[in-house]
Amino acid sequence: MAIEAQAPGQKRQRIHFLDSLRGFTLVNMVLFHLCYDLVFFLGMDLSWYEGWPGALWGSCIRWSFILISGMVFFKGRHPLRRGCVLLGWGCVLTIVTGLAVPEALIRFGVLSFLGAASLISAALYPYLKKIPAVWGLSGCALLLAVTWPLTGGGLGFGGKIILGLPRGFYGMGWLYWLGFPDESFYSTDYFPVFPWIFLFFMGIYLAEILRDRYALLDRVRRWKPGGLAFLGRHSLYIYLVHQPVLYGLCLLYM
C-alpha cells in the first residue's frame, strides 16, 4: 500500500518517514523471527528471548506494524484490491506452512488480518471519517482494551475477563478469524479481526490527527528517503521471503 500525502494541486508524494518506520519495524521482525528459529529449530539457549524482554520486543513489533498499516490506509489507491491480495497471500502461507512445517502452522496471521482490515476499513471509512479523530482514537483504544481478552472467552479490561461470552461462539471452529477460536485451534501467528481491528482503526485516526497538524506534517514530508524507507516500500515481498531464507540458513547451519 502506498504511503503518500497529497496537497491541493500537487502530485501525490510519498511520506518517507512512514516508509522508514515500517522498514525499521520490518528489520526488527526479521531479527525477532531469526531468534525464534535459533531457539525452536536449532535449540539455542536464548533465555532473554523466552522471557519478558523477548515478549516485549515481539509486542512492540506487532503493535507498530498494525498501527503503521492503519496510518497509511487512507492514502492507499486500491484498498479492496490490496485487501484481496493480502488475504490471498495469507492463504498461501497457511497452505505452505501446513504442508512443509506443520509445527509452525500459520492460520490467520498478520497478512490475513491486514487483508481483512483493508476490506473492512474500505467499507467503513465513509463512516469512520465522520467521527472527530481524537474521539475516534480514544474510542478505539477503549474498544481495544475491552475486546483484548476475547480469544480467551469474553470481554474485560487489561486482559482480565469480566463478561464471559456464550461458549457456543467458540465451539463453531470456523469463527476463529473473528476472534473465537475453539480448543483445538493452533497457529504460531494469529491476528483475529477482534481485537486487532481497533488498533488498525487507531492508526487511521492518528493519520487524521497528523494531517491536521500542518507544521508537524511539513516536517514529516521533508524526511529524506533511505535504506529503511526502501525496505518499508517493499515490506510485503520481504515478509514473504524472509522466513524461507531464515529456514534455509538454519538448515545450512545444522
DSSP at 102: G
Identify the bridge partners of residue 163 per DSSP, sorted by sequence position: 155
| pLDDT score, position 9 | 36
| pLDDT score, position 45 | 84
| pLDDT score, position 1 | 34
CA nearest neighbour of 116 among 74, 143, 84: 84
Place of cell 519478558: 52
Task: Kindly list the domain boundaries of the chain, sorted by start residue.
Answer: 14-253
Residue burial 114-143, b: 16+ Cβ < 10 Å; e: rest = bbbbbbbbbeeeeebeeeebeebbebbeeb
| pLDDT score, position 219 | 60
| pLDDT score, position 6 | 40
| pLDDT score, position 150 | 94
Which residues neighbour 97 within 8 Å (Cβ) at sequence distance 6 or greater? Answer: 104, 105, 106, 188
How many residues are given for the chain? 254
Report residue 151: phi and psi, to 5°: -65, -15
Place of cell 510485503: 236
| pLDDT score, position 165 | 92
pTM (two decimals)? 0.85
| pLDDT score, position 186 | 93
| pLDDT score, position 247 | 76
| pLDDT score, position 14 | 60
State the 10-residue block means of pLDDT for the chain, 254 residues long: 36 66 90 87 85 92 93 78 92 91 89 95 92 95 95 88 90 91 92 96 90 60 70 85 80 69
How far is residue 61's CA from residue 68's CA, in Å, rounded to a whole number?
A: 11
